[in-house]
Amino acid sequence: MRRLQYLDYGQNKDRCLHVVLSDRAYASILSEVMKNGDNETGGVLLGTIYKNIWYVVESVDPGLVTTNTQDFFRWDAEYVNHLLDKLCPIYRFMISIVGFWHRHPGSMDFFSSTDENTIRSNLKNSKYGLLSMLVNIDPKLRMTFYYCWQETLTRVKYDVGDEYFPVELLEYAKPDGIAEKNGIPESKRFEILPNKVYSSARFPKTVFPGKKPQGANPDTEQPAAQMENYRETIDRLQKENTELKNAAAERNAEKQALEEEIKNLKATIDELREEDKVSQRPDEIQVLSTAEEAADHNDDPPKEMCPSGTEIAGAAPETAEKETVSEETEPADNETLNEESEPADNGSDSEENASE
Ligand SMILES: [Zn+2]
């Protein structure tokens, strides 16, 4: 089999200018290397390409069914694709397999013919080419990145650190993005309660007492870095402000709904009271009518002369207890009642009521 061709940097620069590793990806690689001692191991690089810079967000372990020999390494495609499925939805931007890496013995920082076969077969599934990175410990750990494209390999440089990333590429997805990437239709999505109580400014920025968090000392920082920090702080505060406003609006809406409910309940109580009153009224009126009647028969006093009914009580002492209610009954109602046949019944009713 013909060997792959090594190109100088610049000959392929339109496709991959540089590689940037996130702090997390870097830590994962170190951990995997350290854990395996002198044995070969490797991993799969997940990330995004932006303006011909290849950003590696994650390095995942090679999985359960792997081939690791002195000069050959193959990852468990099923496992890696499974992890990709799980990790992709949590990032705001789409991540995909951008390459792979493996440990090489000694100072061998180029590929074996078996490696090249693996690269060739992996390239068949990639549209933009792939990264292949080698880790050597000779005796210091170093990494060599190659950009693989068609039949060529180009050595590219790299940087490590989240600060090299456009911020969005490391951001996590919002609920809508997570739903979208998991293929959840609009009809099956749910609202999420706000989950911020305090401003993050209230919480410690470092667990090391007396030590200022990184980026907090303006004396030792470059102006550009300072600006960047301020901008980040402003962005963060603005975001928090918006979130707090949204939460406040939500609480306000809840408050209004509760007030509305209280109003409705009060109205219901009033209605029930009114119904209660109406159902009691005929008896009362019947009882009262005798008293009113008695009063009427007396001197027919003007209303203002008989405000409480106590004077009337004097005229008809046996119904005195009922008189206090008389104010509520309108004279018109009373007049419509039968004056002739009722009084006999009324007397017994009034006694029953009085005894209750
Ligand atoms: Zn190899």
- Find the 161 Cα to ligand 1 centroid distance in Å: 26
- Find the 164 Cα to ligand 1 centroid distance in Å: 28
Q: Which residue has the tokens 């410990």?
A: 137
- Find the 196 Cα to ligand 1 centroid distance in Å: 49
- Find the 122 Cα to ligand 1 centroid distance in Å: 14
- Find the 146 Cα to ligand 1 centroid distance in Å: 12
- Find the 66 Cα to ligand 1 centroid distance in Å: 14
Q: What is the pLDDT, as a whole number, of residue 276?
A: 82
- Find the 96 Cα to ligand 1 centroid distance in Å: 22
- Find the 114 Cα to ligand 1 centroid distance in Å: 7
Q: Which spans in the chain are helix H?
A: 23-35, 77-87, 113-123, 167-170, 175-181, 223-298, 310-315, 320-323, 331-336, 343-355
- Report the predicted TM-score, pTM, of the whole model to 2 decimal places: 0.58
C-beta neighbour count of 314 within 10 angstroms: 13
Distance CA 216, CA 133 (A): 35
**Three-class DSSP category at 145:** strand
Domain ranges within the chain, ordered by starting residue = 5-170, 279-355
- Find the 136 Cα to ligand 1 centroid distance in Å: 11
- Find the 312 Cα to ligand 1 centroid distance in Å: 115
pLDDT (tens digit, 0 to 9) for every residue of the chain, 356 residues total? 789 999 888 776 678 999 999 999 999 999 999 988 777 889 999 999 999 999 999 999 988 887 766 656 677 889 989 999 999 999 999 999 999 999 998 999 999 988 899 899 989 988 899 999 999 999 999 999 999 999 999 999 999 999 999 999 999 999 999 999 999 999 999 999 988 889 998 898 888 877 665 655 544 556 676 777 788 888 889 999 999 999 999 999 999 999 999 999 999 999 999 888 776 655 544 544 444 444 444 444 444 444 444 444 444 444 444 444 444 444 444 444 444 444 444 444 444 444 43
Q: What is the pLDDT, as a whole number, of residue 71?
A: 58
Q: What is the pLDDT, as a whole number, of residue 306?
A: 41
Distance CA 147, CA 333 (A): 100
- Find the 28 Cα to ligand 1 centroid distance in Å: 19
- Find the 142 Cα to ligand 1 centroid distance in Å: 15
- Find the 166 Cα to ligand 1 centroid distance in Å: 32
- Find the 98 Cα to ligand 1 centroid distance in Å: 18
- Find the 139 Cα to ligand 1 centroid distance in Å: 18
- Find the 281 Cα to ligand 1 centroid distance in Å: 99
- Find the 295 Cα to ligand 1 centroid distance in Å: 117
Q: Which residue has the tokens 């200022």?
A: 212
Of 91, 76, 72, the C-alpha closest to 25 is 91
- Find the 34 Cα to ligand 1 centroid distance in Å: 17
Q: What is the pLDDT, as a whole number, of residue 257?
A: 93
* Superfamily per CATH, domain 5-170: Cytidine Deaminase, domain 2 (3.40.140.10)
Q: What is the pLDDT, as a whole number, of residue 212?
A: 65
N-term to C-term CA, the chain: 111
Structure-token pair, residue 240: 């928090």
- Find the 259 Cα to ligand 1 centroid distance in Å: 71
- Find the 100 Cα to ligand 1 centroid distance in Å: 11
Burial annotation 68-105 (CB, 10 A radius, 16+ → b, else e) = beeeebbbbeebbeebbeeebbebbbebebbbbbbbbe
- Find the 17 Cα to ligand 1 centroid distance in Å: 23
Distance CA 259, CA 314 (A): 48
Structure-token pair, residue 179: 């739903």
- Find the 87 Cα to ligand 1 centroid distance in Å: 27
Encode 47-70 in three state secondary structure: EEEECCEEEEEEEECCCCCCEECC
- Find the 102 Cα to ligand 1 centroid distance in Å: 7
- Find the 109 Cα to ligand 1 centroid distance in Å: 9
- Find the 147 Cα to ligand 1 centroid distance in Å: 15
